[in-house]
């Protein structure tokens, strides 16, 4: 009985949040634009039901066509969130006795412009270049980092321009710091562009790989020539790459890295999906730690919320002599939108 009541409360909370984001913003905007037209209950129900039904349809089918539908639904969710933020500001203006029609018109224009920019921005790949002090032996080595591509939320065709841009940078190594995939049944043909990466590529898993068919994903990547590092390290030309499996525990790095031997005189690079455990990595002897996971919030104002969970939200930090870099991600999760953040490929040059 207690289990059923918990499920009922959970369902009520989910539906309430869904109604707040999916129903209230478009309904309120309609009422501002056409104050004399009462919004039909059937339309309000459709605003709530259709996105949920289509998302559930994808969960059942999990096919190429359903993933495309899911991307549209999730992007509509992102647009509704933008609309919600603007509607809340509009409510303040209405309290000041501003006429509803011009307020509604301004909100409608801003929703279209901001959403169009956010969708466009999610399809642009930016290269961010950083320099990290290395050792004489590895001086001039170039690493390209991609992270949080989220094939599944993103269509597999997104991989091709990523690989093309990475190859154009001519890195010595490519590192992929998790959440490459976020849905099951992403077949090897969809991942085929990864086989065209010209430099040696190394991969550590993220949380989304854990949520789906992890072993199959690792096998597909291995067959494409990508080195999968799961709680182990490899040595390459004066570099030691260590990959640690993602986990929710804040002590995951501490627990796993102590079982690994640091290669003397190597420049040691830790690949871990989330920006946790940096102090433990530095104490072990890592010189560089590359992470992702945060997406820099992806859509403002989520950056303020994410920063409360991961204070090291974005870019570079010095931790006890170790260089930590937190990528904002190369793709997007959920809505195919970026607002206040960019899709990034990071080029790291060791000096």
Helices 64-95 and 24-33 sit at what angle, rounded to 10 degrees?
A: 50
pTM over 0.75: yes
* Residues 53-68, mean pLDDT to the nearest whole number: 85
* Residues 242-247, mean pLDDT to the nearest whole number: 98
* Stretch among 2-16, 32-46, 247-261, 269-283 having the lowest mean pLDDT: 2-16
Whole-angstrom distance, CA of residue 183 vs CA of residue 155 = 11
Phi, psi (rounded to 5 degrees) for 6: -65, -40
CATH numbers and ranges of domains, the chain: 2-121 (no CATH), 125-350 (3.60.21.10)
Could you tell me the two tokens for 206? 């993220």
Contact between 161 and 125 (Cβ < 8 Å): yes
More confident residue, 171 or 67: 171
pLDDT recorded at residue 10: 77
* Residues 16-35, mean pLDDT to the nearest whole number: 92
The 3-state DSSP class for residue 152 equals: coil
Q: Beta strands 343-350 and 267-271: pairing type?
A: unpaired
Percent of the chain with pLDDT over 90: 86
The 3-state DSSP class for residue 125 equals: strand
- Half-sphere exposure of 73 toward its Cβ, with a 13 Å CA cutoff? 21
Q: How confident is the model at residue 62 (pLDDT cuts 50, 70, 90)?
A: confident
pLDDT at 1 over 60: no
* Residues 250-270, mean pLDDT to the nearest whole number: 96
The mean pLDDT value of the chain amounts to 94
Whole-angstrom distance, CA of residue 1 vs CA of residue 295 = 40
Look at the alpha carbons of 222, 226, 231, 237 in this order and tell me if their dihedral is positive or negative: positive
* Stretch among 58-72, 122-136, 226-240, 261-275 having the lowest mean pLDDT: 58-72
* Stretch among 43-47, 137-141, 177-181, 266-270 having the lowest mean pLDDT: 43-47
C-alpha 66, offset from chain centre:
20
* Residues 10-34, mean pLDDT to the nearest whole number: 90
Helices 100-121 and 64-95 sit at what angle, rounded to 10 degrees?
A: 140
pLDDT at 274 over 90: yes
Could you tell me the two tokens for 76? 């509509």
pLDDT recorded at residue 3: 60
């Amino acid at each position: 009985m207690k289990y059923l009541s918990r499920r009922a409360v959970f369902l009520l909370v989910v539906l309430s949040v869904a109604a707040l984001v999916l129903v209230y913003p478009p309904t309120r905007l309609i009422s501002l634009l056409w104050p004399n037209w009462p919004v039909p209950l059937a339309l309000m129900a459709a605003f709530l039901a259709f996105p949920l039904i289509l998302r559930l349809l994808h969960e059942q089918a999990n096919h190429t066509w359903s993933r495309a539908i899911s991307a549209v639904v999730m992007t509509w969710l992102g647009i509704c969130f933008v609309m919600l933020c603007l509607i809340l500001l509009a409510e303040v203006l209405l309290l000041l006795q501003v006429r509803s029609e011009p307020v509604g018109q301004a909100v409608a224009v801003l929703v279209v412009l901001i959403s169009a920019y956010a969708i466009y921005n999610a399809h642009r790949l930016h290269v961010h270049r950083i320099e990290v002090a290395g050792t004489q032996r590895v001086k001039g080595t170039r690493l390209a980092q991609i992270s949080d591509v989220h094939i599944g939320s993103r269509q597999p065709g997104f991989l091709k321009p990523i690989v093309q841009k990475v190859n154009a940078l001519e890195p010595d190594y490519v590192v992929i710091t998790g959440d490459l995939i976020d849905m099951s049944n992403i077949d090897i043909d969809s991942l085929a562009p990864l086989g065209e990466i010209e430099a040696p590529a190394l991969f550590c898993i993220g949380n989304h790989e854990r949520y789906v068919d992890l072993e199959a994903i690792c096998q597909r990547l291995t067959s494409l020539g990508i080195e999968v590092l799961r709680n182990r390290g490899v040595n390459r030309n004066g570099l030691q790459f260590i990959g640690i499996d993602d986990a929710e525990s804040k002590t995951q790095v501490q627990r796993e890295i102590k079982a690994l031997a640091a290669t003397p005189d190597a420049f040691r690079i830790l690949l871990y999906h989330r920006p946790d455990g940096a102090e433990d990595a530095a104490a072990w002897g890592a010189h560089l730690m590359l992470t992702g996971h945060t997406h820099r919030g992806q859509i403002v104002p989520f950056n303020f919320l994410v920063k409360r969970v991961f204070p090291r939200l974005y870019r570079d930090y010095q931790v006890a002599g170790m260089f930590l870099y937190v990528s904002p991600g190369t793709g997007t999760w959920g809505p195919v939108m970026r607002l206040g953040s960019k899709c990034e490929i990071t080029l790291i040059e060791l000096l």
